[in-house]
């Protein structure tokens, strides 16, 4: 298993197995005696601060960092062979800076395994994922199961009406939907919103 100096990207909707795949990649590298470390964004407060936890409860020791510059510093200082980065879309770095950081890591022969959402709840691409996908050595788009019809899910549907782009949550706040079910749910939500607005105007 020779994966030195590569970028491996796992992306897709929520509940699609991205973090599980990250866990699996790093587990195999650990067996191959790679010196590894995993990182998670400081904004992610869903689970133990010192662990990455997949939706099927696989756990991975992790270091919480504010930005990807911290990852570069740590990996260089500790002479790592490979790193895992979960929820990469939540880091505040500019996408151009992310590419520079990743290229510097790979130039040091460090393999990077990344997991992250490809789109937000409005199906707008996350900029970091959009920019790193073309430079990936290995790229996997994962699919969850649509919570409504059972087809392959395409999007992460937010159950609440909160319109902030970033809202940390799990099954309490999101569910995976296929394109048809997602579009139907969003259309119904918009119709309800418009109806409420008309009723308020009529008061």
Active centre residues (catalytic): 87
Q: DSSP secondary-structure letter at 94?
A: -
- Cβ contact 110:8 at 8 Å: no
Residue 188 has, within 13 A of its CA and on its CB side, a CA count of 8
E strand map for 30-189: 36-41, 51-53, 59-61, 63-65, 82-85, 111-117, 138-142, 155-158, 174-177
Q: For residue 119, what are its two tokens?
A: 């789109």
- Cβ contact 177:15 at 8 Å: no
12 to each of 54, 78, 90, 123, how far by Cα in Å? 14, 31, 14, 11
**What is the distance between the alpha carbons of residues 28 and 30, in angstroms, rounded to a whole number?**
5
Query: Residue 36's CB: how many other CB atoms inside 10 A?
Result: 22
């Amino acid at each position: 298993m020779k994966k030195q100096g590569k970028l491996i990207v796992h992306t897709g909707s929520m509940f699609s197995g991205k973090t599980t795949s990250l866990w699996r990649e790093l587990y195999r590298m650990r067996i191959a005696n790679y010196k590894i470390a995993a990182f998670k964004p400081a904004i992610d407060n869903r689970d133990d601060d010192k662990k990455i936890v997949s939706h099927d409860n696989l756990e991975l020791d992790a270091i919480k960092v504010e930005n990807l510059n911290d990852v570069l510093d740590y990996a260089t200082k500790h002479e790592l062979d490979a790193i895992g980065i979960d929820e990469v879309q939540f880091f505040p770095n500019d996408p151009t800076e992310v590419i520079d950081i990743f290229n510097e890591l790979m130039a040091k022969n460090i393999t990077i395994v990344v997991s992250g959402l490809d789109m937000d709840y409005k199906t707008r691409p996350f900029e970091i994922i959009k920019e790193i996908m073309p430079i990936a050595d290995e790229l996997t788009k994962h699919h969850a199961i649509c919570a409504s019809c059972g087809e392959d899910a395409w999007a992460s549907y937010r159950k609440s009406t909160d319109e902030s782009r970033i809202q940390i949550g799990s099954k309490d706040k999101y569910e995976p939907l296929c394109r048809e079910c997602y579009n139907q749910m969003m259309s119904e939500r918009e119709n309800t919103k418009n109806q409420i607005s008309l009723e308020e105007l009529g008061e």
